[in-house]
Amino acid sequence: MLFSDLPLPLADSLAARGYTDLTPVQSAVCAEEALGRDLIVSAQTGSGKTVAFGLAMAGELLGETGQLPRAGGPLALVIAPTRELALQVSRELMWLYEPTGARIVTCVGGMDAMRERRMLNQGAHIVVGTPGRLRDHLERGALLLSDLRVAVLDEADEMLDMGFREDLEEILDSTPPERRTLLFSATMPRPILALAGRYQRNAFRIATIGQDRGHGDISYQAVAVAPADIEAAVVNLLRYHEAETAMLFCATRDNVRRLHATLVERGFDAVALSGEHSQSERNNALQALRDRRARVCVATDVAARGIDLPSLGLVIHVEIPRDAETLQHRSGRTGRAGRKGTAVLVVPYPRRRRVEGMLRGARIDLAWVEAPTPAMIREKDHARLLEALMEPVETEAEDHALAAELLAKKSPEDIAAALVRAHRARMPQPEELAVNSVAERGPAGHRQGFEDCVWLSMNIGRRHNADPRWVLPLLCRRGHVTKSEIGAIRIGNGETRFQIPRAIAGRFLDAVARTARPDGEDENGIRIELAEGDDMGGHAGHPAPRSTPEGGRRHGKPVARKPHQGDWAPMGERGPQGRESRGEGRPQGKPFRQKHPGAGPKKARRPS
């Protein structure tokens, strides 16, 4: 669409802003078939939709004269789900309508309500606000909607998800029936269509997301990791990509707090956003991200809504989103304004099938990739370091004098090595992942030091979703050994067997007994014991253990597993299922409850 087809003041604003073309959604709302009609617009976050509805309502505001009337009751009302988004919308409309002299008033929570009421009493052409604050002004008589010509619902799906249906209905019921209603939403679930059916007339549908449902400028990836390796994988992903700004999504405020503390401890410049933070803390965190004092933001879904960070290049889904729509909303924070972005899902191995099922019908082009290893990160660092050190820098005479003094005392190679070391010292160290040792080991790999081994067994197998990549960390934790001290792992239908060097088997079984309950099982209902037919042979001074210290059953005797009663484990040590918690209300330090794989109403069969 040509700028000449737009009202002259708006065309001048676009040109001054550097626009050469309109985005697809901006062109669509200005097309002839959309003029003057109610609109239902499916537009991805970051597609230019704020300017789009600013252009779409120009006809109702400026009329044939191209002039705004004297400010009184608002002619246009824009409703947004969060304070940050409302302020962003207000800023966009201000520069777009600046040549018209439009008076724009913003009404959001956390701001001075008395000041907002004074500004409304002085008259406004456009009012932008959040549902709760707008409803409050409406009920107090400060917001008069009798002259309203256009109502815009921005990110309507998020407003319904956040529980604003009643507020929206009260606001829209107070507007003139002949008003025009523009509904913008990234997704179109049934509640959105029901809202449109009630408040719109013969609405014109515009869809610019496309058939793949993903954002064209976002590369979707997934890495499968052991549940105990989640935090380590996040560290490695941050180090591998080294994005200008990254956002990490967790399901609860407790997990946000825990992951934020972990990253800060490892040397990342990180901030946190969740429901427990005040508006002042949120503002400080966002400002730190905008001025580059922080590069990583750990947030919950709700806390991140409406945030616009142009430099955001990486989104990591630390905990799996509940559905494909949430995946899109989270990922839509990156890949904006023509810039490329990357969205990565961190998937515990036992939950890979669930993720694949969620994405199967979502038409999102996602690639499963290997979790970055320290070797991969060092290779990336090597290239980045060379690039950084080869960049031209401005120097002063004092710098050259100091350089000459250094060259007189040390060789150029030593000085260069010290410079490289200084650069590397500022980078957080990558983490070793259990998956790498499992991949190197294979299902029955034999390594040096495992010529004389003892076979032990666990009362879980394939029907319990047993996988070496979460079994290995569990064995290390229960037996107080390192992953290099675990030999081959063989998984059967109802039993898993693994090797321990005979020299340390006694110590391993003693540690297992100490970490078990009186019945010999741990909190997950998992029993570890000598495999049937094997014995210690009293090697290295260790007699063959025959019972737990509490007098439990003899090692090697098959025992029917009890139905699992659940356990508590912090993020990163979730046990077999790696379940997420729900909600944001758990007290600090309370991790989430999970179930043993395969547990159910029936008692498990005896290990085979």
In tens, the pLDDT along 106-136 reads 999 878 999 999 999 999 999 999 999 999 9
> Is residue 131 a contact partner of residue 108, using CB atoms and an 8 Å limit?
no
How does pLDDT run across 156-168, given as a tens digit for each residue? 887 887 788 999 9
What's domain 218-373's architecture? 3-Layer(aba) Sandwich (3.40)
In the numeric block, the tokens 């040792």 are attached to 437
Per-residue pLDDT band at 540 (split at 50, 70, 90): very low
Equal CATH topology for 3-207 and 218-373: yes
Q: For 404-419, what is the mean pLDDT?
A: 89
* Selection from 49, 48, 32 nearest residue 40 by Cα: 49
Cα of 41 vs its chain's centroid, Å: 25
Question: What strands, in cross-sheet order, belong to the sheet with 150-153?
Answer: 104-107, 126-129, 76-79, 150-153, 180-185, 39-42, 204-207
CB atoms within 10 A of CB 40: 22
Cα(396)–Cα(573) distance, integer angstroms? 53
In the numeric block, the tokens 């109502």 are attached to 151
* Selection from 575, 585, 530 nearest residue 227 by Cα: 575
Cβ-proximal residues to 533 (8 Å cutoff; 6+ apart), any chain: 556
Q: Which two tokens stand for residue 98?
A: 């600046």
Per the DSSP assignment, residues forming a β-bridge with 567 are 594
Ramachandran sector of residue 115 (left: φ over 0; alpha: ψ -120 to 50; beta: rest): alpha
Q: Which two tokens stand for residue 148?
A: 């309203």
Cα(125)–Cα(328) distance, integer angstroms? 34
Cα(332)–Cα(407) distance, integer angstroms? 51
> Looking at residue 464, what is its pLDDT?
82
Q: Which amino acid is located at 517 in the chain?
A: R
Name the CATH superfamily housing domain 3-207: P-loop containing nucleotide triphosphate hydrolases (3.40.50.300)
Task: Tell me what the pLDDT averaged over the chain comes to.
Answer: 80
How does pLDDT run across 246-256, given as a tens digit for each residue? 999 998 889 99
Residue 238 has pLDDT above 50, yes or no: yes
Residue 85 has pLDDT above 70, yes or no: yes
How does pLDDT run across 26-65, given as a tens digit for each residue? 999 999 899 999 999 987 666 788 999 999 999 999 887 7
Q: Which two tokens stand for residue 230?
A: 């989640």
How does pLDDT run across 430-443, given as a tens digit for each residue? 888 764 444 334 44
Domain locations in the chain as residue ranges: 3-207, 218-373, 376-425, 434-594
Identify the residue with better confidence: 524 or 317.
317
- Whole-angstrom CA distances from 582 to 300, 350, 378 are 12, 18, 37
Say what the pTM is.
0.56
Phi, psi of 42 (to 5 degrees): -95, 105
Q: For 355-379, what is the mean pLDDT?
A: 85
* Selection from 161, 165, 173, 170 nearest residue 135 by Cα: 170
Cα(71)–Cα(73) distance, integer angstroms? 7
